[in-house]
Amino acid sequence: MSELTLTVIRLGFLAVLWLLVLSVTSAMRADLFGVRPPKPPKQSRAAARQSKQPKGGKGLPSKIVIVEGPDTGRGVPLQGAPVTFGRGDECTLPLADEYISTQHARLRFHEGQWYVEDLGSTNGTYVGNERLTRSTPVNVKSRFRLGKTVVELRK
């Protein structure tokens, strides 16, 4: 085995080792910067018509944002599926607010309108100064409050 071949192999090995380190790092990139969410699975037409929010429907909110409370700045898009709020892990939007129940409130889309309803929470859900007792329609710029958290619907 000639000296030259061994040197080439030695450098080659180091290069490959570093290549592995770099590929591992690039595989981790997705975790740091995120990847595009996958397209939602195709629903059957009928189901889509019922639950899916019509695209560009006039005046319909497209996302919710938390504007007050410990989770200020977080939010989720509204796509037609119900959104639940609470401290529990199984909620769509788990919140850190201590004044919130495990399952506190829910946003629900029904026949072209979003409704907010209280899920029997301890401290109640408020629209304005009114404590919710039944499903209440909400629109863009509506705010509702649970615990110390204020949620706003946005276009």
Partner 1 sequence: MSLNQRLPRSEPANEEAVVPRRGRGTELLLLIFAVGISTFAYINVDLGALGEVPADAMAYLGGFFAVSCIAHIVIRIRAPYADPVILPIVVTLCGLGLAMIHRLDIADDTSHATTQLTWMLVGVALFLAVLFFIRDHRILARYPYLMGLTGLILLILPLMPVIGHSIRGAQIWIRVGGMSFQPNEAAKIVLTIAFAGFLVQTRDALALAGRRFLGIDLPRARDLGPILIVWVTALGILTVQNDVGPSVLLFGSFVLLIYIATERISWIILGLMLIGFGIYAAYNVVSHVRERFDLWLDPFIDPTGQLAQSLFGLAYGGTIGTGLGQGHPDMIPIAESDFIGAALGEELGLAGLAAVILLYALLVSRGLRASLVLRDPFGKLLAAGLASGLLLQVFVVLGGVTRLIPMSGLTTPFLALGGSSLVMNWVLVALLIRLSDAARRPAPTDTPSFADDAATQVVRVT
Tell the smallest beta-carbon distance from residue 59 to partner 1 (Å): 22
Considering only 67, 76, 127, 150, the residue that binds partner 1 (CB under 8 A) is 76
Residue 71 as a binder of partner 1 (CB under 8 A): the answer is yes
Residue 134 as a binder of partner 1 (CB under 8 A): the answer is no
Total residues interacting with partner 1, rule: CB under 8 A: 49
Tell the smallest beta-carbon distance from residue 155 to partner 1 (Å): 16
Residue 11 as a binder of partner 1 (CB under 8 A): the answer is yes
3-state secondary structure string, the chain?
Answer: CCHHHHHHHHHHHHHHHHHHHHHHHHHHHHHHHCCCCCCCCCCCHHHHHHHCCCCCCCCCCCEEEEEECCCCCCEEECCCCCEEEECCCCCCEECCCCCCCCCCEEEEEECCEEEEEECCCCCCEEECCEECCCCEEECCCCEEEECCEEEEEEC
Residue 41 as a binder of partner 1 (CB under 8 A): the answer is no
Residue 34 as a binder of partner 1 (CB under 8 A): the answer is yes
Residue 74 as a binder of partner 1 (CB under 8 A): the answer is yes
